[in-house]
Amino acid sequence: MNNKLRGYLAMIGVLTAWGSSYSISKVAMYYMSPFVLTMYRFAIGGLVLALVGRGLIINRKYVINALLNGALFVVFLNIAIQYSTNPALVSVLVYTQPIFVLILSIVLYHEKPRALQVIGIALAFTGLLIAVGVYSFDIGDAIALLGAFTWAVGTHYFRRNLVNEDLIKLNASMSIISALIASPVLIINPYMSLSVNAVVWGVLVALVAQVAGFLFWFLGVRDLGPITASSISILVPASAYIFALLILGKVPTMTEIIGSAIALIGVLVSQLRA
């Protein structure tokens, strides 16, 4: 099997793992609070990734990145999934993070945006207004966008400080650090059903979202390169809609489909180079 084919198969794994994780998380939260689910994802996922990566690294830079791209992001993500009417729509809102990365580059580093980037930003936010709706915008949608912004801030920090690190060991370390950072939020709502279902769904979220998703992602980036892999990953929200239908029986509205498509096209256009 050549590297390119292996890379595309890995990206199919990414679309499957991360696309299904939104609906799986929604089911898991029938049995536990979003804060308990956060601990499941980080603790179990971190231990498995540590075994794969053969160790952990703990230092100040890892802690800061874990706070931004780990603890805060996943707490916001899980709360958004719990309160949003459609977990697949949350995936669209979260995947606007490249737009926030671009906006932060313009604000923080005074980078001059290209024409395609301006068009992409306009399309993305137009799509979001259509998909979410001005009057149906809820707390889950707002928190999803906050998660996207937090991830964008973490992305800038990662690019400046950690881009040359071992990615598997980095994510293993970030997962364990994030579990420690996020543990105090359990005070807010420590609810978890004492049942086999609770444990099974919690472990499933950790293995699918934190372990399989990231391992497939690393393979895809390695064999296809970051640009191609990132472009394919924009299809995750489309995959999320399919899994929301299969797992939750959630049928997207026409405005959600049209708005999400416009938003994702906007994200893709913003990443193109003229």
pLDDT, tens only, 117-140: 788 888 888 887 787 665 567 788
Distance CA 214, CA 42 (A): 12
- 174 exposed, middle or buried (CB, 10 Å; 0-12, 13-18, 19+)? buried
- 10 exposed, middle or buried (CB, 10 Å; 0-12, 13-18, 19+)? buried
pTM value is 0.84
pLDDT tens by residue, 194-203:
899 999 999 9
Quick one: which of 136, 41, 146 has its CA closest to 93?
A: 146
**Where is average pLDDT lowest: 170-174, 230-234, 258-262?**
230-234
pLDDT tens by residue, 2-51:
878 898 899 899 999 999 999 999 999 999 999 999 999 999 999 998 99
